Structure 1
């Protein structure tokens, strides 16, 4: 799709009579993915809701475990540094998008932006492959964790019940298949506002539960020492950094910015401020209270520490159940958001943009393809209940390149170097330094994640009845 076509398709043209003119011709460019799924009607606060759902999720409950591998001061410093760097990188992605829009080329897909700025076609394919792997992984992981939440509630209500994890995966998949028929990312704005409220709610509840647990006589002794082995301490530190990078990950910012009513320039910065305001509240409280309560005995998900398999729960039951319900609800929203890129790609090929969004011609393939996608993700979740361990590797390999390295390279190529007239401007050199550091961290973090996967491989069983 050429620049003029992108601008027109993303400009919020009504889906019932989309006529997207290809630049320089009078022909129609039938791109239903742009016209239907990535319709551009939103405000900056709607984009903020989408950003918050895509960034602030239950993965933050792994933050106490990340601090375990780094210790108090280095852990909090790394958490703060990752927050600052990711905010900076997302802001630069938005500025590159604004820069292209000002030149008459509004991009609504990450892969299109990469192809425009980076040039070679392989750059577009690289972004597409990494983004697709991350988005599918998040969707699968969300289904799995949502089913685990249902199983926790069910086990509490019916301790001797016979339902297995895969039963709850089916329940979650049915709900997602129904909600996935909402036609566009913009149509999820109220769900994502609810997601924002849920994230604040369960993080405050989990933080309160950690304080209760830390003051409980049943809590483990508070030991904040690191591993005595230099090699283990090093691997744990880099694994923690990989976890932090994954927690801050957001692979769909261009698609979120595409939902803004044009002109989009400057609006995404406000959305990022909203997102990171929520993030500062929801990340630090559970990270600090969880690590304080359990020290180096904290499990990879702090909820597992609060609800041990053997022995009583370490906080009031009602509080933990409400927190689990809120986590469950937000996981549904996260799966919906991260599925949108897949839906956009499917509808770009299967739907007819010249017909109405709700015409029989477009509804039938939408229902079939989206339901099939959800069913596929659910099947993988049921088969690989240890998928959380795998997604840690995907995160280490994918999030740092997509969220840090590529944005900085694109900004240097599109904005920093042309504006400064030299490749030695302070902004350019600072970006290069960040790229070098985080590329190295990504490689080492991937090695550490694979090492952990290999160490724990004997616990992994296909179609087992619990999340590892």
Structure 2
């Protein structure tokens, strides 16, 4: 190997310095700098992914299976699990590719802007992602309030407190947790969250099996009832619910928390996440539907079925543990889905040239994050229809963002052969998902309108 002369070394150094002056590294805005700190490992990525996907929304899976029946329900669970794992890996590969080119994309809107054009990032993908993530915060506040109400009724069976009061109490907890400065700061909370979801899923499964073999269990009917029209709309609604349960509208933001180099780390994190999914989604969905059959449709979450109509179907202490675990994990999940909103607020109102914990940045952060939580809590108290919120989120947001967008940006970025399986497989998934999204939007809005006729604002359900 030839040695470099001193003069050539000086020239090379000069060229590097000149290139740095002509093309300086892009400065991070306050949102990326403060909220999306890139300091985590692939294991931390696994914690974040598990919390964002394996959430209390999985407790609505028996409800979805009751709308589909055994065969279609289980097949849908398997198929959507495989498609989302494939989809998230495609999106991760796109992010890895651009990171190697020196253009690391930290947000969904960055991916859309760089690959599809600035208008896609600014007017379509960006607002869509913020909207569904904020809807997830509203749904989290509602589910947290429901868990608090269950705990209250277990202690005071004839209590008079209303659901909206518990949602407000849970909102106070969110006000505190929302002040955690960055996504990376949540890694330890999300490790606890992962443990909690495994614990309450196991509890729900054991409880459902116990009820299924108990004399207290209802007579089970697994047929899909109703008119042909209602069965079709119900099936589409169920697909939207399952898609939302698997959905994660913050894949780029989670990958942004990984310390460079990022190559291959997201795949390891996804493997951790889907190991947790396999042990929770299927156990809760199958055991819950098996234990209650069509009665799973009487409530949007299986915990309500476990509570019984007149008295609890399980020991009070057991139900109390399940609800406490669900409550705590709901808080963690809700804070995770606050991060895109936090990032936007920091970008607009924080000063990246000053310290993150300076008064200049701390005061706006506290005020704006608090307002964000207060508004979400108010919506959750007014519209307590958790199953409907899940379906609407899936149809309007998560299906386009998690099932269609990754296929499109992968094909545009890597340009696979149009004669190959990858191109047509991605195209097929995108087209079928687009059709399901359109039909699901109609079905979910229809169901919400039907429920709105039965319930009033601030309903105590």
* TM-score higher than 0.5: yes
Give the conservation status (yes or no) of the 8 Å contact 1:40–1:259: yes
Counterpart-to-counterpart distance in 2, 1:342 and 1:237:
32
5 Å-filtered alignment, 1:30-429, equals 31-227=29-225, 229-299=227-297, 300-308=300-308, 310-386=309-385, 388-415=387-414, 417=415, 420=416, 422-429=417-424
Q: How far is the alpha carbon of 1:170 from its aligned partner?
A: 2.5
Q: What do the CA deviations read for 1:343-368 (whole angstroms, capped 9, x no partner)? A: 11111111111111111111111111
Q: How far is the alpha carbon of 1:332 from its aligned partner?
A: 0.3
Which of the numbers 434, 445, 454 marks the counterpart of 2:449? 454
What secondary structure is seen at the aligned counterpart in 2 of 1:298? helix
Counterpart-to-counterpart distance in 1, 2:382 and 2:432:
37
Give the conservation status (yes or no) of the 8 Å contact 2:139–2:389: no
Stretch deviating more after TM superposition (370-379 or 187-196): 370-379
Give the conservation status (yes or no) of the 8 Å contact 2:240–2:390: no
Distance of aligned partners of 1:22 and 1:285 in 2 relative to their CA distance in 1, 3 Å threshold: farther
Q: How far is the alpha carbon of 1:163 from its aligned partner?
A: 3.0
Counterpart-to-counterpart distance in 2, 1:390 and 1:85:
23
Give the conservation status (yes or no) of the 8 Å contact 1:137–1:391: no
Q: What do the CA deviations read for 1:146-199 (whole angstroms, capped 9, x no partner)? A: 111111111221234343323322222222111211110000000000100010
Counterpart-to-counterpart distance in 2, 1:94 and 1:28:
22
Distance of aligned partners of 1:265 and 1:179 in 2 relative to their CA distance in 1, 3 Å threshold: same
Give the conservation status (yes or no) of the 8 Å contact 1:143–1:172: yes
Counterpart-to-counterpart distance in 2, 1:24 and 1:154:
64
Q: How far is the alpha carbon of 1:312 from its aligned partner?
A: 2.1
Q: What do the CA deviations read for 1:414-437 (whole angstroms, capped 9, x no partner)? A: 01x1xx4x3332211111111111
Stretch deviating more after TM superposition (274-283 or 317-326): 317-326
Give the conservation status (yes or no) of the 8 Å contact 1:251–1:402: yes
Q: How far is the alpha carbon of 1:315 from its aligned partner?
A: 1.8
Counterpart-to-counterpart distance in 2, 1:339 and 1:199:
19
Give the conservation status (yes or no) of the 8 Å contact 2:238–2:391: no
Q: Which residue number corresponds to residue 443 of structure 1?
A: 438
Give the conservation status (yes or no) of the 8 Å contact 2:105–2:111: yes
CA RMSD of aligned residues (A): 1.8
Give the conservation status (yes or no) of the 8 Å contact 2:199–2:325: yes
Q: How far is the alpha carbon of 1:289 from its aligned partner?
A: 0.5
Give the conservation status (yes or no) of the 8 Å contact 1:216–1:314: no
Count residues in correspondence. 441
Q: Which is higher, the Rg of structure 1 or of structure 2? A: 2
Q: Which residue number corresponds to residue 9 of structure 2?
A: none
Distance of aligned partners of 1:68 and 1:129 in 2 relative to their CA distance in 1, 3 Å threshold: same
Counterpart-to-counterpart distance in 1, 2:294 and 2:286:
13
Counterpart-to-counterpart distance in 1, 2:169 and 2:225:
41
Q: How far is the alpha carbon of 1:30 from its aligned partner?
A: 6.0
Give the conservation status (yes or no) of the 8 Å contact 1:112–1:124: no
Give the conservation status (yes or no) of the 8 Å contact 1:177–1:374: yes
Stretch deviating more after TM superposition (64-73 or 49-58): 64-73
Unaligned runs of 5+ in 1: 1-20
Q: What do the CA deviations read for 1:120-170 (whole angstroms, capped 9, x no partner)? A: 513442111211111111101111111111111112212343433233222
Give the conservation status (yes or no) of the 8 Å contact 1:22–1:28: no
Q: How far is the alpha carbon of 1:77 from its aligned partner?
A: 1.0
Give the conservation status (yes or no) of the 8 Å contact 2:212–2:292: yes
Counterpart-to-counterpart distance in 2, 1:241 and 1:26:
48
Counterpart-to-counterpart distance in 1, 2:61 and 2:27:
46
Give the conservation status (yes or no) of the 8 Å contact 1:209–1:316: no
Unaligned runs of 5+ in 2: 1-18
What secondary structure is seen at the aligned counterpart in 2 of 1:389? helix
Counterpart-to-counterpart distance in 1, 2:272 and 2:181:
25
Give the conservation status (yes or no) of the 8 Å contact 2:307–2:313: yes
